Structure 1
Amino acid sequence: MHALLPTTTVGSLPKPSWLAQPEVLWSPWSLQGDTLIEGKQDALRIAVHEQTRRGIDILSDGEQTRQHFVTTFIENLSGVDFDKRETVRIRNRYDASVPTVVGEVRRERPVFVDDATFLRASTDRPIKWALPGPMTMVDTLYDSHYKSREKLAWEFAGILNEEAKALEAAGVDIIQFDEPSFNVFFDEVKDWGVAALERAAEGLRAQTAVHICYGYGITANTDWKATLGSQWRQYEESFPLLQRSSVDIVSLECQNSHVPMDLIELIRGKKVMLGAIDVANETVETPEEVADTLRRALAFVDADKLIPSTNCGMAPFPRGVALQKLSALSAGAAILRDELG
C-alpha cells in the first residue's frame, strides 16, 4: 500500500463472460442458484487478483456480485414491489421501467455483508465498498407510498447507515456512496441531499466517500453531456456543501472531461479521489497522461490528500482494456510519486 497517492477505482470492473454478457451494462446473470453464488465469488477473486497485480492500492469488489449499482441494493429491501413497474425519467435524462415503493421500506437482512466479508478475506490491502446514495436511490424508483422524495431519502439514509455499520464491522476501510444525482438536482442537494448523505454516513469509524460522476459512456449520458457546454460546472453546486460536510473523501471525474480543474479548490481540506482514467473512451491513457492530470490537480489539493482513481466504473469495457487502464493508473501515480520524492 502506497502511503502517498494510493490508487483505487470507483467500483465496477468488467465481469467474466461466463458470469454475465460482456460489454453490456447491467447484464443479467448467466448462472443460477448455487452455481451463481460460486461464480460471483470466483469473479471477485479474479477482480482482487487483477487489481493487486496491476498495482491498485485500495481494492474494490469490482461490483462482481451486483447486477446494478442501485437496484441490487433495493431488491433486498421490503416495501418495494419489483413486479409493479412504472416508467420514470432517470436523472432527467432517460426513461426507465422501475419498481414501485408500495409500503414502508425496511432492511430485513444484511445485503452486501457476506460479499464484503469474502473480499476482506481475499486481500491484506485496504478495501472499499460502494453503496448507492439516498438521492440516487430515490431517483431510481416510483414512489406510491411516501409521496415525498425527501421523506423516502431519509428512510433510505437510515437503512444505508445500518448496512454501512455492518460493512464496517466486516472490515471495510472506506464506504463510498454513489450520488450521480448530485450533478442534476441542485435544489434538492441543498435542501436535503447532503443532509441525507451525512445521515447515511453517521457514526462510522470507516472513512466515507461520495462519488459524483457524469455517468457511464451510454448514449443517454453522452447526449446529455453534449448539452453542458464547454465547461462542466455542476460540481460548483455541491462542492461547497460537501466541503462543510462530515464526508471524508469526495470522488470526481477529471480525465477527458470538461470539468474545470480549479473547482477542486472548493473542497480544500477533504481527500480527493480524482478520476484520471476516462470510462467513456476505450483509448488507454499513457502513464504520462495520468501523471499530468494528477500533477495539475496538485495546485488545488495537497499530495497527502490525493487518491488517483478512475472517472467512474469500467463495467462496459472489454476486460483487456479495463485492465490496461488499471496499469496506466498505477504507472501514472508512480511517476508523480517519484517526482514528489
Structure 2
Amino acid sequence: MAISSVLGYPRIGAEREWKKALEAFWSGKLEEEEFHGKLKEIRLAHLRKQQAKGIDLIAVNDFSYYDHVLDTAVMFGIVPKRFEYEGGAVPLSVYYGMARGTKDAPACEMTKWFNTNYHYIVPELDGAEPALTGNKPLAAYREAKAELGIEGKPVLLGPLTFLKLSKGYSAADTDAWLERLLPLYAQVLRELEQEGVQWVQLDEPILATALTDEDVERLRKVCYTLAEAAPGLNLMLQTYFESVERYSDIVALPVKGIGLDFVHGSAGNVKSIEAHGFPADKVLGAGIVDGRGIWKSSLRDKAALLRKIGAYVPNDRLMVQSSCSLLHVPVTTEYETELPAQLKGALAFADEKLDELVLLTKAAVSGEASIASELKQCDDALHALESLEERVRADIRQEVAAVSQTNPERALPFAERHPIQQKQWQLPLFPTTTIGSFPQSADVRKARQLWRKGEWNDERYGAFIREQIDTWIRLQEEIGLDVLVHGEFERTDMVEFFGEKLAGFAFTKNGWVQSYGSRCVKPPVIYGDVAFREAMTVEETKYAQSRTQRPVKGMLTGPITIMNWSFVREDIPREQIAYQLAYALRQEVEALESAGIGMIQVDEPAVREGLPLKEKDQAEYLAWAVKAFRMTTCTVRDTTQIHTHMCYCEFHDMIASIEAMDADVISIETSRSHGELIHSFEENTYKMGIGLGVYDIHSPRVPRVEEMAAMIDRALRVLDPRLFWINPDCGLKTRGKEETVDSLRNMVEATRLAREKYSLMV
C-alpha cells in the first residue's frame, strides 16, 4: 500500500518562533539550557503537526540550530582550526562561530544551496581530522519516538553531496576524503539500525547535476559500503531539484529506495522510467507535490501522473512525497486573512502540502473517486485564480513584446563610455562606496510599523525618513566615502518594496521562509502581469542628493532578482515575467535619470541562483537574464553610470555573462570565500569597473584594516587598478550602527593605504 512522506519541514515556525529564539540566545536574553528547551518545544510541535495531518513517514533530523550542512560538518568534527576546537562535542560557541564569525575568527563561507535562495555554510576540509562527535540522526529519532511515539525517518546529508559542497581539498584528494568519511557514515547507520530504525533518507541532490564516471564509482562505493554496514536498514537514496543524471546506474545501486523529483525534474524522470523501467526490489519515493512553490497542486493532474508512474511501480512500493524539503515554502496559509479569496484559495504552503500528500496517497490506494469532492474543490480554486482580471493585461503584453523584440544595448560600448564618465564624476583612484542599505534600527522598524498601522500619517513618516537620510549622509561624508547612498530606510525588503509599488504582485501577512541562519524573508507573490504605476525611489534619492555635493546612487532591485526572490505564477514562462519586470524597472531608471541622478545601481544578487542545474538549459537562461538586465538599463545617457551587485554565489562559470550585462561597475562578494573568486579573474580578463567586497557584512565582527588591505592587494594582482572599486560585501541593513561606522572607517583607511601604494603605478 502506498504511504505518504515528506523530505523535511520548515524550521522557522508559523510565527518565526525559531528565529526569535536564535536571536534571543545570541543577544544573551536566553541562557543555553533555556534555549535548548525552546528549540525542542518548536521541534516537537512541528512533528506533532505532521502526525496530526496523517503523514505516514515523518522526517526527523531535518531540524537545525542554523543549517543542515553545518550540522553535518560539526557531527563529523570538521571545524576549522581558527576556532580552536579540541575535539569531542562541538559547543554552541564554536558552532555559531563557524556560522557567524567571532571577534578573532572569520565565519565560514556561505553560499546558495543549489538553485534556491537558501544559503548553507560551506564545510572547510583543509586540516580537518574527522571523527564522529555525536549521532544527531539517532538523537532525533529517539526524541520523536519517546516524546510522540513517532517511528521517524532520520535524514542525513549524503557523503558525495557533502564532499562536492565542501572546500579546502583538491580533486585528487576526493577519494581519500571519501575513505575518511565513509566509516563515520557507516557508524551512524549501524547505530540507527541497532536502535530499530526502519528507513533512513540519504540526501544526495548532487545526483541531479552532471556526474562523471568517477562520481558514479564513488556513489557505488558509498552505497555498497553503507549497505554492508547496516544491512537491515532501508536506505532511501533521495534526489531533488531536477531529474537525475545516470538513471540506470543509480537505480542499480544496493539501496531499498530511490527518491525522484516529479515536479522540477518530472519530464526527465518520467522519461527515464518509461525507457528503463524501475527495479522490482526497490521503493520509489515519488516527489509529486512541489516543495519549492506555493501554488495549490492540481490534484487531478497529480493523480494522473501517479497513475502513469503506477504502470511501472505498484502501490506497495510507492511513497508519495514532496519534491524536496518544505524548508523552501512558508508554514501555513492560516494567517493570510487579507488576500483576495480567489488568490488565497489557490495557495498551498507547507501545512496545506501535507494535506495534498495525504489526499494523493489516498487516491493512489483507493482511486480518484475516493477524493472526488476534494478534486472538485481544487478545480474550482484554480479556475477562480485564472478568472482574475490581473492575470492577463493585453496592453502590458503588447508593450513588453515590442520592447523585447529589439536588441537592448547602450549607445556606446564601455570602453568609450568610461572616459566620459571619468570626466563627469572626477572620482579618485579606488572609489569607495557601499552596496545600498544602512542599519535599520528599532526606531526605524517602529516608525514603519506606526505608519503602516495609520498611527503616523505620510507627512510624519516622510519627515522621519528624511532625518535618517540626513544622519547617514553626514556620517558617510565624515567617514570619507566617495559615492554615497540614501540608506533605504523606507524599505522593508529589497524585493517587497518594489513589488508593493508594481501591479501584478500580492503580499502575504506571514509567508516567511528561511534565507540563511535566522534571516527570514517574505517573498512577494507574482500572480498577474507586472506593470509600472508611478516613480518608486525618486523622492528619497533626490532628497539625499540635495544634501551632499558627492554623487548619490539610485538603488533598484533588478528584474531577475525580483523574479527569483518572489513566488511566481506558473502559467506563463519565467522569461516573459522577467521582461515584464525589466520594462517596468526601465521606467524607474528613466525617472531617476530625469530627476538628476547620474549613478544608478540595479542589484542582481539572484542571477546565479536561478541558473538551471542542467548544463543544457543554462545558456538559454543566461541569455534572457542578461537581456532583461540590459532592457532595464540600456536607455540611459552615456554619462550615467550603471552599477550592479551580486553576492554569495559561485560566479567563475558565468563571468562572460556578467560582462555581457554591460554594467559600468559591478560589486561582488568575496570576503567569505576568502578571496577565492579572485582566482576566476586570474583566468578571465574583466574589462569593466569592479568592486570585490572587502569585508563580510553578515558577521558582527569589525574587520581589521590589515585584513581588508590584504584583500585589496590580492585583487589588484589580477584586476586593473583604474577600474577597481572598494566596498563591503553586501548591504548593511542588518548590522548595528557602531559596528557599521567602525567597519567603514577601517575600509576607508585600507583604501587610503592602497592609494598611497598604487598611485604611482597607475
Kept after mapping to 1: 8 A contact 2:508/2:522: no
Q: Distance in 1 between matches of 2:522 and 2:733?
A: 21
Equivalence for 2:466: 41
Structure 1 unaligned blocks of 5 or more = 22-26, 215-231
Q: How many angstroms does 1:318 deviate by?
A: 1.3
Aligned residue type for 2:679: D
Q: Structure 1 residue 212 and structure 2 residue 646: aligned?
A: yes
Q: Distance in 2 between matches of 1:48 and 1:331?
A: 19
Q: How many angstroms does 1:339 deviate by?
A: 1.0
Equivalence for 1:193: 625
Deviation sequence 1:279-303 (CA, Å, 0-9, x none): 1222212222212111111122111
Q: 1:194 to 1:106 in 2, by over 3 A?
A: same
More divergent stretch after superposition (189-198 vs 151-160): 189-198
Q: Distance in 1 between matches of 2:621 and 2:475?
A: 36
Deviation sequence 1:270-327 (CA, Å, 0-9, x none): 1002211211222212222212111111122111101100100111111100111110
Larger proportion of strand: 1
Q: Structure 1 residue 312 and structure 2 residue 733: aligned?
A: no
Equivalence for 1:257: 673
Determine helix, strand or coil for the equivalent of 2:470: helix
Q: Distance in 2 between matches of 1:338 and 1:67?
A: 40
Q: Distance in 2 between matches of 1:62 and 1:267?
A: 33
More divergent stretch after superposition (256-265 vs 197-206): 256-265
Aligned residue type for 2:746: A
Determine helix, strand or coil for the equivalent of 1:20: helix
1:132-171 residue pairs with structure 2 within 5 A? 132-144=557-569, 147-171=572-596
Structure 2 unaligned blocks of 5 or more = 1-425, 612-617
Q: Distance in 2 between matches of 1:67 and 1:99?
A: 12
Structure scoring higher RCO (CA < 8 A, sep ≥ 6) equals: 1
Deviation sequence 1:90-137 (CA, Å, 0-9, x none): 79xx98654333432211110011111101101110111221111111
Equivalence for 2:487: 62
Q: Distance in 1 between matches of 2:699 and 2:513?
A: 28
Match of 2:752 among 334, 338, 341: 334
Determine helix, strand or coil for the equivalent of 1:116: helix
Kept after mapping to 2: 8 A contact 1:116/1:170: no
Q: How many angstroms does 1:267 deviate by?
A: 5.3
Determine helix, strand or coil for the equivalent of 2:606: helix
Determine helix, strand or coil for the equivalent of 2:465: helix
Determine helix, strand or coil for the equivalent of 1:12: coil
Q: How many angstroms does 1:88 deviate by?
A: 7.9
Equivalence for 2:365: none
Kept after mapping to 1: 8 A contact 2:430/2:722: yes
Q: How many angstroms does 1:260 deviate by?
A: 2.9
Larger proportion of helix: 2
Q: Distance in 2 between matches of 1:260 and 1:152?
A: 31
Q: 1:90 to 1:18 in 2, by over 3 A?
A: closer
Q: Distance in 2 between matches of 1:67 and 1:87?
A: 13
Aligned residue type for 1:107: F
Kept after mapping to 2: 8 A contact 1:101/1:145: no
Q: Distance in 1 between matches of 2:427 and 2:664?
A: 19
Determine helix, strand or coil for the equivalent of 1:52: helix
Q: Distance in 2 between matches of 1:8 and 1:264?
A: 22
Indicate the percent of aligned positions where both proteins have the same amino acid.
Answer: 26
Q: 1:287 to 1:87 in 2, by over 3 A?
A: closer
Q: Distance in 1 between matches of 2:579 and 2:724?
A: 31
1:56-205 residue pairs with structure 2 within 5 A? 56-82=481-507, 97-144=522-569, 147-186=572-611, 187=618, 189-205=621-637
Q: Distance in 2 between matches of 1:329 and 1:262?
A: 22
Q: Distance in 2 between matches of 1:295 and 1:41?
A: 38
Determine helix, strand or coil for the equivalent of 1:109: coil
Number of aligned residues = 316
Q: 1:315 to 1:86 in 2, by over 3 A?
A: closer
Q: How many angstroms does 1:81 deviate by?
A: 2.5
Aligned residue type for 1:248: D
Equivalence for 2:223: none
Q: Structure 1 residue 244 and structure 2 residue 678: aligned?
A: no
Q: Distance in 1 between matches of 2:594 and 2:693?
A: 28
Kept after mapping to 2: 8 A contact 1:268/1:300: no
Q: Structure 1 residue 270 and structure 2 residue 691: aligned?
A: no
Equivalence for 1:298: 716
Q: Distance in 1 between matches of 2:605 and 2:575?
A: 17
Q: How many angstroms does 1:257 deviate by?
A: 2.1
Q: 1:285 to 1:98 in 2, by over 3 A?
A: closer
1:16-27 residue pairs with structure 2 within 5 A? 16-20=441-445
Q: 1:156 to 1:256 in 2, by over 3 A?
A: same
Q: How many angstroms does 1:161 deviate by?
A: 0.8
More divergent stretch after superposition (151-160 vs 82-91): 82-91
Q: Distance in 2 between matches of 1:156 and 1:148?
A: 13
Aligned residue type for 2:721: A
Deviation sequence 1:34-78 (CA, Å, 0-9, x none): 221111111011111111110111001121221111110110112
Q: Distance in 1 between matches of 2:701 and 2:521?
A: 30
Q: 1:191 to 1:36 in 2, by over 3 A?
A: same
Q: Distance in 2 between matches of 1:167 and 1:191?
A: 27
Kept after mapping to 2: 8 A contact 1:285/1:325: yes
Q: 1:84 to 1:316 in 2, by over 3 A?
A: closer
Q: 1:243 to 1:316 in 2, by over 3 A?
A: same
Aligned residue type for 1:177: V
Q: 1:90 to 1:327 in 2, by over 3 A?
A: closer
Q: Distance in 2 between matches of 1:244 and 1:102?
A: 30
Aligned residue type for 1:204: V
Q: Distance in 1 between matches of 2:679 and 2:487?
A: 30
Q: How many angstroms does 1:86 deviate by?
A: 6.9
Determine helix, strand or coil for the equivalent of 1:59: coil
Deviation sequence 1:179-202 (CA, Å, 0-9, x none): 121231222651411111111111
Q: 1:83 to 1:120 in 2, by over 3 A?
A: same
Alignment TM-score, normalising by the size of structure 1: 0.85
Q: Distance in 2 between matches of 1:197 and 1:298?
A: 28
More divergent stretch after superposition (111-120 vs 100-109): 100-109
Equivalence for 2:179: none
Determine helix, strand or coil for the equivalent of 2:583: helix
Q: Distance in 2 between matches of 1:86 and 1:335?
A: 46
Kept after mapping to 2: 8 A contact 1:86/1:142: no
Deviation sequence 1:148-187 (CA, Å, 0-9, x none): 2110110100111110111122222321122121231222
Aligned residue type for 2:656: P
Cα RMSD after superposing both structures? 2.5
Aligned residue type for 1:48: I
